[in-house]
Amino acid sequence: MKLTTLGLALVVAFLLSELVTISNGISTSSLQQISSDSKYLTKEEHWFNQTLDHFSPYDHRTFGQRYYEFLDYFRFPDGPIFLKICGEAACSGIPNDYLSILAKKFGAAVVTLEHRYYGKSSPFKSLTTGNLKYLSSKQALFDLAAFRNFYQESLNAKLTRSNIDNPWFVFGVSYAGALSAWFRLKFPHLTCGSLASSAVVQAVYSFSEFDKQVGESAGPECKAALQEITQLVEARLASNGKELKALFGADELRNDGDFLYFVADAAVTAFQYGSPDKLCIPVVEAKKSGEDIVNAYATYVKEYYIKTFGVSVKTYDQENLKNTAVNGDTSDRLWWFQVCTEVAYFQVAPMNDSIRSSKVDTRYHLDLCRNVFGTGIYPDIDATNLYYGGTKIAGSKIVFTNGSQDPWRHASKQTSSPELPSYIASCHNCGHGADLRGCPQSPLVPEGDAKNCSSPDAIRKVREKIVEHIDLWLSQCQDLGRSSM
């Protein structure tokens, strides 16, 4: 850690002398060095007792919720606190993406709270449908609010002060980006502002725009190749499905709908996460040379999507999604429950000119929800959009960002206004969360380096706007001596 001012050196001396641990709170034994794993700022776990049901005055049960803190760049004692929201996956630490650059620039502490039920933050020992009743975005937002106040009070106790608020700012990508926007919407007094990166704020029932964007991002040649692959896959599935599934390394997917969803999703990933050439170059070359284009695509799926990207085929198996045990990675069952109850985002084939199989339709998704979670489970998207506003969200001091090639951007807010600015980073491989993650968007690039983006300048311009908004909104908070305005 490099400290460039005498003031920061004094901070280090002070914190090293304060060997104190707040009960059920913040460990302040020393400033921590960046994790030896360059992908994370820290992986040191902390725990917080969270309320199970924020909407019941009678249920006082709690559960342990995991969180992380990173203080190396914190401008002690009045610097801002950046709350990086974890979304629909286990949270293994604080990622070393562009947020680390922002934290250093603004002298911010960074804290991250794992989403309820995911990772190690499960309230129950079994994930039955009945036990999932407390898994929702609404409960998660109250989790964040309760944690924010807990952390602020713990910091104040450590500093022997009271009724003082550091300026807070929330960040998130994808579903966590939506939570970031919704947190500012519902709790404006608890944060100075929000960065909602690739924030899917609009619940969508039949999300055909998703597939249309995949086609646009692919370009004419690659799109035509992918459409031909889909046609050939459907034909071979009907004639010799067992052999075809083996070719893709997906023998375990006995449900043909699950297999077709898997085949479609493998292509989506290339555009969503900033690696279009890994898919398009081999399939277009195979088509031009008259080679077996399905074989070429199957090679991409096995070598990149499964082996390099790390996707497990079983995550597409509905029988696997029925597993209620809390062991291993439970994220797929948990996220499908949120999909099947709140947001849908059913990635269906458009009526015309689709890339994915027309068999991946609304009925497939509804059948999955019923098969995995039981009868009566379906997404009430009208209630979700009524509660949050969808793309007509009426909040303030939320900056929305999206990547031009990302199919998810059609569930985000893409129109800009003074209180809700929106920016799109446009480049050949600008995908999901490109403003924070750089290129490619996965696997993680340390500090969100944009040098491998086809247009690093496109990312730089969006980041300049982000910095301007954070700077302005934090200064307005500090002028008022509170976390909101």
pLDDT value at residue 478 = 80
**Integer Rg of the chain from CA:** 23
Decide if 468 contacts 474 (C-beta within 8 A).
no
Residue 207's alpha-carbon distances to 369, 381, 422, in angstroms, are: 16, 12, 21
Residue 189 is a catalytic residue: no
43 Cβ contact partners less than 8 Å away, ≥ 6 residues apart: 35, 37, 68, 92, 93
Task: Write out the two tokens for 294.
Answer: 């399905």
Could you give the CA distance from residue 340 to residue 372 in angstroms, rounded to a whole number?
10
At residue 16, the pLDDT reads: 34
- Is residue 404 helix, strand or coil? coil
- Sequence-ordered alpha helix ranges (H) in 48-136: 98-106
Q: What is the pLDDT of residues 158-211, one digit of tens each?
A: 999 999 999 999 999 999 999 999 999 999 999 999 999 999 999 999 999 999
DSSP β-bridge partners for residue 65 = 48
Which range has the worst mean pLDDT, 24-28, 147-151, 221-225, 259-263? 24-28
pLDDT at 6: 28
Of the candidates 92, 100, 174, 194, the residue annotated as catalytic is 174
Closest CA to 209 of 350, 343, 403: 350
Q: Which residue has the tokens 């969200």?
A: 393
> In the annotation, is 92 catalytic?
no
Residues 6+ apart with CB under 8 A from 354: 208, 211, 215, 227, 230
* Best CA proximity match to 437, nearest among 195, 216, 266, 213: 195
Given the structure tokens 């997906």, which residue do they identify? 250
Residue 318 has pLDDT above 50, yes or no: yes
- Which residue in 97, 406, 412, 483 is the catalytic one? 406
Residue 5 has pLDDT above 70, yes or no: no
pLDDT reading at 141 higher than 50:
yes
pLDDT score for 251: 97
Q: Are 327 and 189 in contact (CB under 8 A)?
A: no
User: What pLDDT does 29 receive?
Assistant: 33
Task: Please give the single-letter amino acid code of residue 154.
Answer: S
The band of 388, judged by pLDDT with boundaries at 50, 70 and 90, is very high
Identify which has the larger pLDDT, 340 or 13. Answer: 340
Cβ 173 vs Cβ 436: under 8 Å: yes
Q: Model-level pTM?
A: 0.92
Q: Which of 211, 432, 469, 484 is catalytic?
A: 432
Q: Could you confirm whether 115 is annotated as catalytic?
A: no
Q: Is 224 helix (H, G, I), strand (E, B) or coil?
A: helix
pLDDT digits (tens, 9 = 90+) for 399-425: 999 999 999 999 999 999 999 999 999
Q: How confident is the model at residue 351 (pLDDT cuts 50, 70, 90)?
A: very high
Please tell me the distance from the alpha carbon of residue 483 to that of residue 470, in angstroms, as a whole number. 13
* Mean pLDDT for all residues in the chain: 92
Question: Does 462 score more than 80 pLDDT?
Answer: yes
Encode pLDDT of 41-60 as tens digits: 999 999 999 999 999 999 99
d(CA 102, CA 199): 19
Question: How many helices (H) and strands (E) would you count in the chain?
Answer: 14, 12
| CA 187, chain centre distance (Å) | 20
Answer whether 417's CB lies under 8 Å from 407's CB. Answer: no
302 has a pLDDT exceeding 70: yes
The model's pLDDT over 65-83, given as tens digits with 9 standing for 90+, comes to: 999 999 999 999 999 999 9
pLDDT at 143: 99
Residue 11 binned pLDDT confidence (cut-offs 50, 70, 90): very low
Q: pLDDT value at position 480?
A: 72
Q: What percent of the chain has pLDDT over 70?
A: 91
| Tokens (6 digits) for 450 | 């944009």
Residue 35 has pLDDT above 70, yes or no: no
User: Cα 38 from chain centroid?
Assistant: 20
- Confidence category of residue 328, pLDDT binned at 50, 70, 90: confident
pLDDT of residue 479: 73
| pLDDT tens readout for residues 175-190 | 999 999 999 999 999 9
Please count the other Cβ atoms lying within 10 Å of the Cβ belonging to residue 417.
9
Provide CB contacts within 8 A for 139, sequence distance 6+.
Answer: 53, 54, 55, 116
Cβ proximity of 82 and 108 under 8 Å: yes
Tokens of 324: 């209620």
What is the token pair recorded at 24? 């059920």
Tens of pLDDT, residues 240-298: 999 999 999 999 999 999 999 999 999 999 999 999 999 999 999 999 999 999 999 99
Place of tokens 């960002």: 401
CA distance 343 to 87: 14
